[in-house]
Amino acid sequence: MLTTEKLRQENSADGVSRRALLTGGLATGFLLAFHLPLRAASYAVNEPVQPADVTAGKFAPNAFIRIDETGNTTLIMPQVEMGQGTYTSISMILAEELDADWTKVALLHAPPNDKLYGNPTFGLQVTGNSNSIRAWWKPLRTAGASARAMLVQAAAAEWQVDPASCTTSRGEVTHAASGRKLGYGALALAAQGQTPPKDVPLKDPKDFVYIGQPLKRLDTPEKVNGKAVYGIDALLPDMKFATVAACPVFGGKVAKVDDTAAQKVPGVRKIVVLDDTVAVIGDHMWAAKKGLAALKIEWDEGPNARIGSKEIWQHLRAASEKDGAVAKSVGDIAKGLATGDKFEASFEMPFLAHASMEPINATIHVKPDSCEVWTGTQIASRVQSEAAKAAGLPVEKVIVNNHLLGGGFGRKLEPDMVVAAVKIAKQVDYPVKVVWTREEDIQHDVYRPVYRDTVTATLVDGKVAAWKYKVAGSAVLARWLPPAFQKGIDIDAVDAAVDAPYDIPNFHVEYVRAEPPAVPTGFWRGVGPNNNVFAVECAMDELARKAGKDPVEFRRAMLANKPRALAVLNTAAEKANWGQPLPPRVGRGVCLQPSFETFIATVVEAEIDELGEVAVRRVVSVVDTGIAVNPDTVKAQIEGGLIFGLTAALYGEITIDKGRVQQSNFHDYRMLRIDQTPKIEVHVVKSGEPPGGIGEAGVNAGPPALRNAILAATGVALRRMPIDRSLIAMGKKA
């Protein structure tokens, strides 16, 4: 009988082996030995998907750079690629200071190792919070520069010249005075014996050759022909396939399972009953699905079976009336609120599912003394330790093979799918790929929390004189990274609230921790700033109306001390034809945001018909993210982020009834599609500031800018997401 792996080899489109790619290169001339995603034609059960990080016989100056004697340069990626382009940008940063030959660059995923590859901001391997470039900018430049200096030292020693008289470019050291040159490959072994310099100088940004260029992404050629391998594509000899049903009520358990019918489904191999989940293992996903459908499962629904959206919102609204922990206070808020023209409004945001296109999955092989994991995760080291706990093994006995992620958006900052898959795989001696159906993926997510944000403000002389902003919602950080939760403040939930760019003499931000009953919450693309930017920018538009001012003019008057924010606002207004006449029922809405150390001004133009239907016509975003490592990636992230945010604004809401999620798939948890996509124009500002975050920033902008466009077109001030078409149709004015 042919194994799956044998079949895979036979079906491999061109039968190209990993070795052939490593040595032969691709037609593009790039080595691009993307070890991990290649269709591994010859690995056996115990072999990891990607080759180990071999340092012997190579120049290996640090955890990130390996240069062999032929000059092939392998860069080890501490952050994961989930579409945001970080593999390319991180490589560009390393290659820049190393003066590497870009055509000889190959990439390798970092293995789980917090000491070597821990995100400098978090102290563990995390790809999130739009901080890959921000966190690694300096450390990776230093790693590249230090390696370059060692190569120069090796060449200078060989030539017996002053290292300062040598230069580097594209993988070569040159001594101009004598006309001598040596490639990095020829210098690799000698460089390995050099001492890394202290305080190595970094390049002046004006000398950058890669950074700032729209270089082609390194991960995309294999994504046009089916060769890219995501976690869900792992294939192993003799593997089986499983799918799961978790108790539909949060916190419920399995009471009883009758598997008589399921056992008779052809291809079903085993039924696994866990505490709160039932899994069926079969010869393929179809057998597993059919088997699962044939099971009769009784659930012990537990205490959450009576919880619904109504109770959740009552709970949150009550909590939001309480005083919160003070996250920031400038001036005298009590005094400030005592005078002037008063405004108060609360803004509500729903639960949201991540719905990455690759449903959650993990492939696991548990053996008596080891456990191997194939998945795509944003948290490799945490997956390793959680898998070890679930398998009952020491951490070092767990191998994690990370993969490209088919979208992460924060869902893959959680290890739950790996833990469940390990518990399932523990019951058998063969490898099992556990794939959640879309329905299970949507109904067993960790959800973007519900938030209720209240802004109380006063206007004096047409400007905001006092601003009290209270965020109420889940403290995801308190669960996810407990040491970061201090003094009752979730710094993520108020991130863009405390950084609001406006000059307001009495400025006060509070946070009330309110964990929703029953529903687990987690990070969702755009994280805390999603709720902050929405509340701040919606309130600013209402305040502008109250003051009788144009929304852009109103904001501009409070930005004298924030030149970057002011500049993007002015440019966006100009590019979007702000102030120029529009047809009836068409409006423009603006959003200004400081999130992830990136300043963005966005103008959405939308047409709203009398029945409340909304068509987004055009979006203009002007982005100052400091140095844009790869400007085309910055543009792409804003384009995509805007769509992600607009999707949430137009459709996104997870509702709860009887302790269960009511949505299940893309028919009732809708996504924006190409025929609803507006024209999007992104302008990236040239800047010398350190890079800001970009992967999530666009998401923040969509909902408030669209909501403000609806306000401009109709006079209806929506205060809840997603947009309520019936409120617009009824024309309830602000």
Output the CA–CA distances (angstroms, integers) from residue 410 to 38, 56, 184, 414, in the order listed: 25, 37, 39, 8
Cα–Cα dist 409/404, whole Å: 13
Handedness of CA 307, 309, 311, 317 (dihedral sign): positive
Minimum Å gap between C-beta 404 and another protein is 7
| 503 in contact with another protein (CB under 8 A) | no
The SS3 of residue 91 is: helix
- Indicate whether 235 belongs to the interface with another protein (CB under 8 A): yes
* Residue 82 binds to another protein (criterion: CB under 8 A): yes
410 touching another protein, by CB under 8 A: no
Query: In whole angstroms, what is the distance from residue 527 CA to residue 699 CA?
Result: 9
Beta carbon of residue 673, minimum distance to another protein (angstroms, whole number): 5
Q: Which one of 125, 437, 521, 687 is in contact with another protein (CB under 8 A)? A: 437
Binder among 96, 233, 259, 653 for another protein (CB under 8 A): 233
Max CA separation in the chain (angstroms)? 84
CB of 375 vs another protein, minimal distance in Å = 14
CB contact at 8 A, 419 and 387: yes
Of the listed pieces 114-122, 200-208, 272-280, 666-674, which binds another protein according to CB under 8 A? 666-674
Instruction: Quote the least distance from Cβ 192 to another protein, whole Å.
Output: 36
In the bound state with another protein, the residue whose beta carbon lies nearer, of 359 and 594, is 359
Cis peptide before 120 (omega within 30 of 0): no
Q: Under the criterion CB under 8 A, does residue 237 sit at the interface with another protein?
A: no
Query: How is residue 486 annotated by DSSP?
Result: B
438 near another protein, rule: CB under 8 A: yes
232 near another protein, rule: CB under 8 A: yes
Per CB under 8 A, 407 contacts another protein: yes
Q: How far apart are CA 74 and CA 669, in angstroms?
A: 41
Residue 296 near another protein by CB under 8 A: no
What one-character-per-residue DSSP string does 403-432 give?
-B-S--TTGGG--HHHHHHHHHHTTSSS-E
358 binds another protein (CB under 8 A): yes
Cβ burial, residue 483 (10 Å; 0-12/13-18/19+) = exposed
Spatial strand order of the sheet with 73-77 comes to 65-67, 73-77, 105-109
Q: Which of 337, 421, 672, 717 binds another protein (CB under 8 A)?
A: 672
Q: Is 643 in the site for another protein (CB under 8 A)?
A: yes
User: Which window, 249-257, 339-347, 489-497, 671-679, contacts another protein (CB under 8 A)?
Assistant: 671-679
Is residue 417 involved in binding another protein (CB under 8 A)?
Answer: no
Positions 621 through 640 that interact with another protein (CB under 8 A): 632, 636-637, 639-640
Binding to another protein by CB under 8 A, coded x per residue (else -) over 253-292, reads: -------------xx---------------xxxxx-----
- Count of residues binding another protein (CB under 8 A)? 71
Judging by DSSP bridges, how do beta strands 277-282 and 240-246 pair with one another?
antiparallel
Distance, in Å, from the CA atom of 365 to the CA atom of 347, rounded to the nearest integer, reads: 47
Q: Of 232 and 705, which CB lies nearer to another protein in the complex structure?
A: 232
What distance in Å separates the CA atoms of residue 509 and residue 499, rounded to the nearest whole number?
Answer: 10
Given 4, 146, 309, 384, the residue binding another protein (CB under 8 A): 4
Note whether 412 and 379 are within 8 A (CB). Answer: yes
Q: Should residue 223 be labelled a site residue for another protein when binding is judged by CB under 8 A?
A: yes
Could you say which residues in the range 157-216 bind another protein, by CB under 8 A?
214, 216
